[in-house]
């Protein structure tokens, strides 16, 4: 059929099964927005900032497992979106982001709202396109969805000049994709898998190291099976929270800079690391030369470039983690769980020696309590997003996650301002669950304009602001490593968060006591409107334990015993 470029975009999104698009219109993308006005196949959610549109699409994608879609205009519309693209790239979130561009005849002339968008997005997307002919659009859009969602997922950016959205050409979406140069390796080498399983059966202190790739691959339930059948203890990365349920006996906890003592000690003592969908991030490994020093390494990942990038793999297995784990499950017969009994006891001893905990305070609510309390009151009924900082780590440490895709956070890029819009996307994807965003008094101000979107589109996200009047994580580092010089981190001057929420038509609560918190949370869940629950927490609380940057995992700063000071 002969249609224009803008109509092609709508057709392609519809054929891809897209039901929600996040975006913000502007000059160069107007032809597409004119077609959005005319259609009924998908819903468009107008955010109040382009960065928020991308984060919302990320949250939507992470919660639903589908490709997130966002639409923006040229120039500043695009540059505002760059942080979101980079965030999705670091955390391997599949997105298709469509931007308008000035007409072909004006490209390169420094036209109004012109910027070299593909030049900028090249280094923060999995792939990108500048579409110069409407005739190319069906193929490009089809490739974009394919590339975003296969292999190691990631954002794909499609830049479309305004005249191309007006140009009429043939639209045929049944075209076969010819991607001779893009063939992700999904099936793991059977011989390597066999060798890896033999190594597991011979190991004395093996340890599962579970990563976010498991969630991307929808392999959490297969991994749960593998862990259970082998009886091998497991640690999770921050991005893998929810792969195992919090109450799984074999889950030691989260590892890394703010991981538990037991997890980090287990990683230091293991003789065989079984890495599934992980990338040995510096926040996980600490000092590389001391990381799992005496261990062999099985590394399963879809991205060959992740394997032996930082830590040499003894058993490299390139493949989709779901495929590989299914193969491994076939070979668990030789693995004897009883062989690891004393190793499991060692791990339990580590946990008993320095359990993950915090000290209550009689005057002020401790932030960790808030996270635990939400876990107790809502648990599995909530999807949890976070912003970036101390609250983020406390959420990773203390929330009782029960399932994959329950937790969305900006792990790789560490983007303050991610949480609220992401939680809106999560709510759009799974309206039956309560969408919570744990945030801080620093982070929430980066994208608080999204209160308007949440009110208008009825996305009742509950933002729990752990307010310590500080840019807390930076303050913590200043306290510990900069001799308490709290340079520009004191956020004592603040808006009235209750009135701020109310000004947009949301609801606000200020909470000083535990009783007030319970009442506020219960009320917010009932009210079904976007909420700010501002919790006044202890100002100087630190995230503990902690591996100082560049330190060894076994050399942790631990929570002070009560009474120490």
Residues annotated catalytic, as ranges = 50, 112-113, 162, 473
Does 287 sit near other proteins (CB under 8 A)?
A: no
Distances (CA, A) of 352 to 260, 347, 349, 360, 451: 11, 9, 5, 19, 43
User: Toward other proteins, which CB reaches closer, 178 or 515?
Assistant: 178
| 182 forms part of the interface with other proteins (CB under 8 A) | yes
Tell me the CA distances in angstroms from 198 to 76, 322, 425, one per residue in order: 55, 19, 43
Give the interface segment with other proteins, choosing from 117-125, 220-228, 234-242, 367-375 (CB under 8 A): 117-125
Q: State the DSSP string of 322-376.
A: HHHHHHHHHTGGG--GGGGHHHHHHHHHHHHHS-S-----SSSB-HHHHHHHHHH
- The piece of 125-133, 191-199, 327-335, 513-521 that touches other proteins (CB under 8 A) is 125-133
Does residue 303 belong to the site contacting other proteins (CB under 8 A)? yes
305 contributes a contact to other proteins by CB under 8 A: yes
Nearer to other proteins, 109 or 181 (CB): 181
**180 is a site residue for other proteins (CB under 8 A):** yes
| Token representation of residue 383 | 């999807």
Minimum distance of other proteins from residue 132's CB (angstroms) = 8
282 touches other proteins (CB under 8 A): no
> Shortest distance, CB of residue 112 to other proteins, whole angstroms?
23
127 vs 539 by CB, closer to other proteins? 127
Count of residues of this chain found to bind other proteins when the rule CB under 8 A is applied: 19
For residues 171-194, one letter each, b for 16 or more C-beta atoms within 10 angstroms of the residue's C-beta and e for the rest, the string is: beeeeeeeeeeeeeebebbeebbe
CB of 81 vs other proteins, minimal distance in Å: 19
The DSSP symbol for 412 reads: S
Of 103, 304, 548, 551, the one binding other proteins by CB under 8 A:
304
Only one of the segments 114-122, 270-278, 329-337, 388-396 lies at the binding site for other proteins (rule: CB under 8 A); that segment is: 114-122
d(CA 551, CA 557): 10
Q: Is the dihedral of CA 385, 391, 397, 400 positive or negative?
A: negative
- Residues in 307-336 at the binding interface with other proteins, rule: CB under 8 A: 308-309, 312
User: Between residues 305 and 480, which has the closer beta carbon with respect to other proteins?
Assistant: 305
Residue of 2, 109, 181, 487 interacting with other proteins (CB under 8 A): 181
Return d(Cα 481, Cα 551) in angstroms, integer.
13
The verdict on whether omega for the bond into residue 545 sits within 30 degrees of 0, i.e. cis, is yes
Collapsing DSSP to helix, strand or coil, 60 comes out as: helix
For residues 128-157, which are near other proteins according to CB under 8 A? 130, 132, 147
Residue 283 CA to residue 288 CA, distance in Å, equals: 11
Distance CA 528, CA 418 (A): 22
- Does residue 228 interact with other proteins by CB under 8 A? no
Nearest-angstrom CA–CA distance, 393 and 283: 12
The first and second tokens of residue 489, run together, are 């981190």
Q: Which residue has the tokens 């939507």?
A: 60
- Beta carbon nearer to other proteins, 304 or 551: 304
Smallest distance from other proteins to CB 237, Å: 21
Distance CA 554, CA 286 (A): 9
The interface region with other proteins, picked from 179-187, 327-335, 359-367, 517-525 by CB under 8 A, is 179-187
What's the closest the beta carbon of residue 213 comes to other proteins, in angstroms?
Answer: 15
Binding segment toward other proteins, per CB under 8 A, in 32-40, 123-131, 320-328, 418-426: 123-131
Residues found near other proteins in the complex (CB under 8 A): 118-119, 122-123, 126-127, 130, 132, 147, 179-182, 303-305, 308-309, 312
């Amino acid at each position: 059929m002969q249609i224009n470029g803008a109509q092609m975009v709508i057709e392609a999104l519809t054929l891809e099964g897209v039901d929600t698009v996040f975006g913000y219109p502007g000059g160069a993308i107007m032809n597409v927005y004119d077609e959005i006005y005319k259609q009924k196949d998908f819903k468009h959610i107008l955010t109040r900032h382009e960065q928020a549109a991308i984060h919302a699409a990320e949250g939507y994608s992470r919660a639903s497992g589908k490709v997130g879609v966002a639409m923006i205009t040229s120039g500043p519309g695009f540059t505002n979106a760059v942080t979101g693209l980079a965030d999705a790239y670091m955390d391997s979130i599949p997105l298709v982001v469509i931007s308008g561009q000035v007409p072909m005849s004006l490209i390169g002339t420094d036209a109004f709202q012109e910027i070299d968008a593909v030049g900028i997005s090249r280094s923060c997307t999995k792939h990108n396109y500048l579409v110069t002919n409407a005739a190319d659009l069906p193929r490009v859009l089809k490739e974009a969805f394919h590339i975003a969602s296969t292999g190691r997922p990631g954002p794909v950016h499609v830049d479309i000049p305004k005249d191309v959205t007006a140009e009429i050409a043939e639209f045929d979406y049944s075209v076969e994709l010819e991607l001779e140069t893009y063939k992700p390796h999904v099936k793991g080498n059977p011989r390597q898998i066999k060798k890896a399983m033999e190594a597991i059966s011979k190991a004395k202190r093996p340890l599962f190291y579970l990563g976010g790739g498991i969630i991307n691959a929808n392999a959490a339930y297969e991994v749960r099976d593998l862990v259970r059948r082998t009886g091998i203890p497991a640690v999770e990365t921050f991005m893998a929270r929810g792969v195992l349920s919090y109450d799984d006996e074999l889950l030691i906890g989260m590892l890394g800079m703010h991981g538990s003592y037991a997890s980090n000690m287990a990683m230091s003592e293991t003789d065989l690391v079984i890495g599934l969908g992980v990338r040995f991030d510096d926040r996980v490994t600490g000092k590389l030369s001391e990381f799992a020093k005496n261990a062999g390494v099985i590394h399963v990942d879809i991205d060959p470039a992740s394997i032996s990038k930082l830590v040499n793999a003894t058993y490299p297995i390139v493949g989709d983690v779901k495929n590989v784990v299914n193969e491994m499950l076939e070979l668990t017969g030789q693995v004897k769980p009883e062989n690891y009994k004393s190793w499991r006891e060692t791990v339990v001893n580590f946990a008993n020696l320095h359990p993950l905990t915090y000290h209550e305070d009689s005057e002020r609510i401790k932030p960790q309590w808030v996270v635990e309390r939400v876990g107790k009151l809502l648990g599995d009924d909530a999807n949890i997003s976070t912003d970036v900082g101390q609250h983020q780590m406390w959420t990773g440490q203390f929330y009782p996650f029960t399932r994959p895709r329950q937790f969305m956070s900006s792990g790789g890029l560490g983007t303050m301002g991610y949480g609220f819009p992401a939680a809106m996307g999560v709510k759009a994807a799974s309206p039956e669950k309560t969408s919570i965003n744990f945030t801080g008094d620093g982070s929430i101000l980066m994208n608080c304009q999204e209160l308007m979107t949440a009110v208008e589109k009825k996305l009742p996200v509950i933002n729990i602001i752990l307010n310590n009047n500080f840019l807390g994580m930076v303050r913590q580092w200043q306290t510990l490593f900069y001799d308490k010089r709290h340079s520009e981190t004191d956020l004592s001057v603040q808006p009235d968060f209750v009135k701020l929420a109310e000004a947009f038509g949301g609801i606000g609560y200020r909470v000083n006591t535990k009783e007030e918190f319970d009442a506020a949370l219960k009320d917010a869940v009932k009210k079904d409107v976007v909420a700010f629950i501002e919790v006044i927490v202890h100002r100087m609380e630190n995230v503990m334990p902690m591996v100082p940057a560049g330190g060894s995992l076994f050399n942790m700063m631990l929570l002070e015993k009560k009474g120490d000071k």
